[in-house]
Amino acid sequence: MDNQEQKQYQKFDWGEYEKKRAIEQEQYERIQKEIRETEERSRQTLESLEITFKNLDEAKAQARQTVENIDNFKKQFSDAMDKLLENIGKSMGANSIKADEQNPKTAKQVTVEQAQKLLTKNVLILCGAGLSHASGIPTFRGEDGYWTKGADKYQCQKVLTKDFLTNNPDLCWEWHKDFQKMLINKKPNAGHTAIANYKKKNPNTLIVSQNIDNMLTSILPQKQIKNGHFESIYEIHGNIKYMRCSQECTLEKDELATLYEMPDLTKNLRPKCPKCGEDARPHILFFDESYTNENCRIQELQDKYDAYDTIIVVGTMLETGCAKSTVCQFIKKKATIIEINPEPIIEVGNTYQIKGKSEEILPKLLK
C-alpha cells in the first residue's frame, strides 16, 4: 500500500461503515423472515385449498346422492298416490249415501206396510231434527238456521260454537235462554211417542238422537248411568237440560262427564260450576267440537253397531259426521235401511224410503 492509499485508508470512517453494515444485515434478516412467513402462509393456503377441493368433491357426491334420493322419493310418492287414489275410488261407495257412476242408485220407495215387514229384532233408530219439527222446534236448517236478537240476525251454526261462547259468552247464553223459553210449552209429538212405545216393547232397540231438545228423552225409561246420561238413549249432541264445567274440573279420561241441571236462564244467564265456581257451559256438542267418550259414549255406541241389522233413519239430512258415518257403516255391511224423510236422501245400499212426515209414519211403522 503506497502512502496515498495509506492516507485514504486512515481517513475511512470505519464506524459509519459498520453502522451501515448492521442496518443492511438487519434489513436482510427482516426480508428473509418475511420470505419464510410468506412461504409458510402459501403452504397453509395450499393445504386449505386441498381440503376445500376435497370438501367440494364430497359435497358434489352428496348432492348427486341427494338428487338420486329425491328422484327415488318422487317415484315412490307418485306410486303411493296412484295406489291411494285407486283405493279411494274403490271405497267411495262405502263412504257415500249418494249414487254415482260407480255406485248406482239402489234405494226403493216403499209403503209403511212394506217397510214394517222388513223390521228385525235388532233395530237402531237414528233421529234428527226433523223428528221434533212437529213439536214446533226449529231444525237449524234453512230459515230455522238463523237466530234474530234485536235488530241483528245470527247464523246458528256460528252462535253454537265453542269459539263464539269464548268470545261472546253473554250472546251465546242469550241463545240458550231463548231456546229454553221456547221449549217451555213444547210437548213430544206422535213420532216421539211411537219410538218411546217401541223401545218399551223392544228393550234391545238402540236409539241414537242428534237432538238437544230433551223431547224424546223425557218420555223414555229414566234409568241413568250418571246424572244426565241415560241407558235408554245415546244423545250424541248433548241435551239442553244440562250443563257442565267449562274447565271440565271433574273430567277423567273415558269416564262420563259430570252434568248439572241447567238453571232458569232468565234468572241466571251465566251459571257457574257448582263444584269449582268457574263458568259453566251448556252440555251440547258445539259445531266446532268433536265427539268424545266422556260426553256421549261414542266408542261404546259404535261398538254396538255389529249387533244391529236394521236402521231406521228419521228426520235427518246426515250433515253431521257421526250420523253419516253410522249410515255408511250400515250400507257397507248390507244391513236394511229404512229412511223416513219428506225428501229422502239415501240413494244407495239396501235402502227403503218412506216419503212423508215422521209424526204420521212412525206410529204406523212401529205399532
For 28-51, what is each residue's pLDDT tens digit?
Answer: 778 888 888 888 888 888 888 888
The pLDDT, as a whole number, for residue 234 is 98
Dihedral pair phi/psi, residue 318, rounded to 5°: 55, 45
Ranges of residues in the chain with a pLDDT under 70 are 1-15, 17, 71, 74-75, 77-95
The pLDDT, as a whole number, for residue 309 is 96
* 211: Cβ contacts below 8 Å, ≥ 6 apart: 127, 128, 129, 131, 132, 137, 235, 237
For 352-364, what is each residue's pLDDT tens digit?
Answer: 999 999 999 999 9
Catalytic residue among 133, 176, 229, 237: 237
The pLDDT, as a whole number, for residue 294 is 96
| CA pair distance 241, 26, nearest whole angstrom | 105
The pLDDT, as a whole number, for residue 91 is 47
Paired sense of beta strands 238-245 and 260-261, if any: antiparallel
Scan for cell 317415484, then name that residue. Answer: 75
The pLDDT, as a whole number, for residue 302 is 96
Predicted model pTM: 0.75
Q: Is 192 a catalytic residue?
A: no
